[in-house]
Structure 1
Amino acid sequence: MMRSLYAGVSGLQNHQTRMDVIGNNISNVNTYGFKKGRVSFQDMISQQIGGASKPQEELGGVNPKEVGLGMSVATIDTIFTQGNLQSTGNTTDIAISGNGFFVLKNGDETFYTRAGVFGVDSNGTLVNPGNGLRVQGWMAQNVNGQQVVRTSATPTDLVIPVGQKDPPHATENVHYFCNLDKNMPEIPENPTDEQIENGTWPTTVKIYDSFGNEHIMAMNFRKVPGNPNQWTVTVDVDPNGEFNTNTRIGMGTTDGVENTYTLNFDNTGKLVSVMDSAGNVSNEQGEIILQTSFEVADANPDADGNPYRQTFNLNLGTIGSMENTVTQSASKSTTKANFQDGYKLGYLDTFRIDNSGIITGVYSNGSTRTIGQIAMASFTNQGGLEKKGDNTYVESINSGMANIGESGTAGKGSMISGTLEMSNVDLSEQLTDMIVTQRGFESNAKTIQTGDSMLETIINLKR
């Protein structure tokens, strides 16, 4: 008789545990990155009243007679299914689509989380503002003038230096591609102003000196009289400025040349050669790069006492090509593209985070620069992680060691900036489980009540 009482007690206790887990799931239905728990039951040891016997010649076999002694909790699992994504518009809110965890640090302690509610503290460090844990990743390093992120290194704190200066950068390269109108009229001898204007294709490109000052490089294209497929180009930096920049342009050097060069085209409109004012010609297949220099006002002279000259490369495209190069066709003269890599002094205004977790700084001067990259961790058995509160987990002896790397590798998901992952708790499922748990609890209580009633009946036999 006592066995049923204790079986009922085990049912009450363990259904109460299940109800605790359900209550925790429901309370975190709106917690970002929360992963629901699930309770699994199993029966306890059974008492054997009679053993099994094998079949005999005259009789068949007999099954064992066993009475169960109740039930116990088998597992309390954390279910890591994907939660719905909610757009917030906040750059530092990041959701993980797929597997993986963000890596957080508190001194030497390492934590992992799915909740990407991040922000920047007063030192510019990317943190979880709810608990101050620092987001881990890799800061970009300057390698030969390029910002490079080395994800093979040990992750460290990520610092976003909002307001940091971006020093001016002198223009080093200009890429200039255009089409010249084959039908543009030639400029005759002793031309009028109108004839000069109609026979000239003027273009301008904005460039910068080492101080960050802005300059205008003007290039005027004119057809060479008597040669229908040849153009003379005059280059002048700040042609309308008060200071004479003494612009020069040549093949590989600006020594001994003037500010003009000549373009030669074939009958299909493809560029076949370029010649500078000193007669140096380039007609080999490949990119045409002219060296251009100009004097910078109010600059210290060079070591020989000559005015300081700034030099940059002018890329006109590829000889023999019609793509991304200077061409001559019977259509309106049009600049297809120009690019220059200089800029003035700027300050870090804002930043953005892409799907790889790369943080790119956007400066007030229009330049962009890689700041760092957010790290992600994955585990062989993520269900083996231990919860530490604040939406965080830590490694356990059954989770395996963290595999930390960039997103999109080794089974890791991608990051989505401006979005947060909602809880994966299904409220309708939890309410249904609550009803089932309640009925199970009531039934076990009824077992105890019935067993007590039977004991009372036995006691009353003596009266």
Structure 2
Amino acid sequence: MMRSLYSGVSGLQNHQTRMDVIGNNISNVNTTGFKRGRVNFQDMISQQLAGAAKPTEELGGVNPKDVGLGMTIATIEQVFTQGNLQSTGVSTDVAIQGNGFFIVKDGEESFYTRNGVFGLDRDGTLVNPANGMRVQGWMARDLNGEQIVQTAATPTDLVIPVGSKDPARETSNVLFACNLNKNTPEIIEGASEADIAKGTWGTEQKIYDSFGNEHLLSVSFRRVPGNPNAWQATVNVDEGNADFTQTRIGLGTTDGVQNTFIVEFDNMGTLRSVTDSSGNVSNTEGEIVLQASYTVPEAEADENGNPTRHTFNINLGTIGSMKNTITQSASKSTTKAYSQDGYTLGYLDNFKIDSTGTITGVYSNGTNRVIGQIAMATFANDRGLEKAGDNTYVETNNSGQANIGESGVAGKGTLLAGALEMSNVDLSEQMTDMIVTQRGFQSNAKTIQTADTLLETVLSLKR
């Protein structure tokens, strides 16, 4: 009779624990990145009143007789189902869609979290503003003028250099992709200014010197008399100051050449060849690249007293191609320099985070630079992680070591900036569990009351 008392006690205690977990779930229904807990029960050891007996020739087998001694908690585990994503519009907020955790550090101790409420401290370090833990990732490094992120390296603090300078870069390459109208009239000797204007087509592109000063690259085209598929191009940097800039253009060199060249097309209107003013002829396949140079204003002279000249390439495109290449077609001429790679001095104005966690800086000069990338961690058994408070977890012996890498790789989820992952607590489910838990608690209490009544009856047998 006493067994039922202790069974009821175990039921009371463990249903109370389950109620504690449900209460914690409900209290965190609006906690960012919170994962609900779940309690699983199992029965305790049973007392055997009689063992099993195998069948004999005279009798059949007999089953064992066991009396259970109550119940206990099997597991209290975290349920890492996906929470809903909520847009916040804050650029430093990041949500995880799928598996994985952010890595944050307090000193040398690593923690893992699904809470993507991040911000910058006074030093520009990306942190959790609630506790100052530093978000881990990889900073980009410069490799031959390109920002490279090495995700195989050990993660480190992410620092956003707000207000930092992006040095001016002189133009090295200009790509042309204009079309020249096949029906443009030739300019004959003695033509009027109006006829010259009709027979000339010009393109312009801003370029930059090493100081970040802006210059205007002008290229004008006119039909070559007697050759229906040839055009003469005249190149000038700052045409209004052409006597000083002394623009030169040639194939492979600008020494001893002028600022003109002849471009020829085939009968399909695609680029065929280029001849510079010294008679040098371009290759017959691949890209045609001309070298141009000009005198840079207000620059120091070289050691020989000669004015400083800046050299850059003009790429006319690929021979035989119509894509991103100068062409000759019977349609309106177009003014288009496809791109140039120079820019003036700029300051970091803003930054954005993409789905891979890559942080890209946006500078006032119009350039974008990769600053770094947010790291993610996954575990073989994420339910084996131990809660450490502040919405964080730490490794345990049963979680396995963190598998650190970039998002979208090796089972890691993707990132969404400007959003947060909500708690995965379902209130309707928790309320239902609360009712079931309450009924279980009450039933176990009734078991104790009933056992007590039975004991009282036994005690009252003798008056």
C-alpha displacement at 1:53, in angstroms? 1.1
1:220 maps to what in 2?
220
The 5 A counterparts of 1:289-328 are 289-328=289-328
Aligned to 1:381: 381
**What secondary structure is seen at the aligned counterpart in 1 of 2:447?**
helix
1:333 alignment partner in structure 2: 333
Match of 1:246 in 2: 246
Structure-2 separation of matches of 1:386 and 1:248 = 70
Q: Tell me how far apart the structure 1 counterparts of residues 368 and 393 of structure 2 sit (CA, whole Å).
A: 35
Structure 1 residue 227 displacement after superposition: 1.3
Q: Which residue of structure 1 lines up, in the alignment, with residue 423 of structure 2?
A: 423
Aligned counterparts of 2:447 and 2:283: Cα–Cα separation in 1: 99
CA distance in 1, matches of 2:38, 2:160: 40
Identify the residue that residue 184 of structure 1 maps to in structure 2: 184
- On the 8 A contact 1:235/1:247 being kept in 2, the answer is yes
* Percent of paired sites with the same residue: 71
State whether residues 252 and 291 of structure 1, in contact with CA within 8 Å, keep that contact through their aligned partners in structure 2. Answer: yes
Alpha carbons of structure 1 residues 418 and 239: separation in structure 2 relative to 1, 3 Å? same
Matched residues in 1 for 2:452 and 2:24: separation?
33
CA distance in 2, matches of 1:364, 1:324: 28
Query: 1:284 offset after TM fit, Å?
Result: 1.8
Separation in 2, partners of 1:267, 1:411: 54
Aligned to 1:444: 444
Distance 1:331 1:319, change over 3 A: same
Matches within 5 A, 1:339-354: 339-354=339-354
Q: Deviations over 1:51-86 (max 9, x none)?
A: 111112111111111110000000011111111111
The number of equivalent residue pairs is: 463
In 2, Cα distance between the equivalents of 1:191 and 1:209?
37
Residue 353 (structure 1) shift: 0.8
* Residues 128 and 134, structure 1, Cα contact 8 Å, conserved in 2: yes
Aligned to 2:201: 201
Taking only aligned residues, the RMSD between alpha carbons, in angstroms, comes to: 1.0
- Deviation string 1:239-293 (CA, Å, 9 cap, x unpaired) is 1248721100010111111111111111111111101111111032011110111
TM-score (norm 1): 0.99
Matches of 1:14 and 1:145, distance apart in 2: 63
Q: Tell me which residue corresponds to 1:283.
A: 283
Written as runs of structure 1 = structure 2, the 5 A alignment for 1:4-403 is 4-241=4-241, 244-403=244-403
Runs of 4+ in 1 over 6 A off after TM superposition: none
Aligned counterparts of 1:243 and 1:31: Cα–Cα separation in 2: 70
Q: Which runs of 5+ in 1 are unaligned?
A: none
CA contact (8 A) 2:203 2:337 kept: no
C-alpha displacement of 1:309? 0.3
**Equivalent AA in structure 2 for residue 158 of structure 1:** L
> Which segment is superposed worse, 188-197 or 392-401?
188-197
User: Given residue 403 of structure 2, which amino acid in structure 1 is its aligned partner?
Assistant: N
Letter paired with 1:293: S
- Whether the aligned pair in 2 keeps the contact of 1:350 and 1:361 (CA below 8 Å) is yes
**Gaps in structure 2 of 5+ consecutive residues:** none
Aligned-partner residue type, residue 59 of structure 2:
L
**Which digits, 9 at most, give the CA deviation of each residue in 1:130-155, with x for residues without a partner?**
11000001111111111111111111
Per the TM alignment, residue 187 of structure 1 is displaced from its structure 2 partner at its CA by: 1.0
TM-score by length of 2: 0.99
Amino acid in the other structure paired with 1:83 = G
How far the C-alpha of 1:337 sits from its partner, in A, is 4.9
- Could you give the per-residue CA deviations for residues 214-248 of structure 1, whole angstroms, max 9, x where no partner exists? 11001101111121111000110111248721100
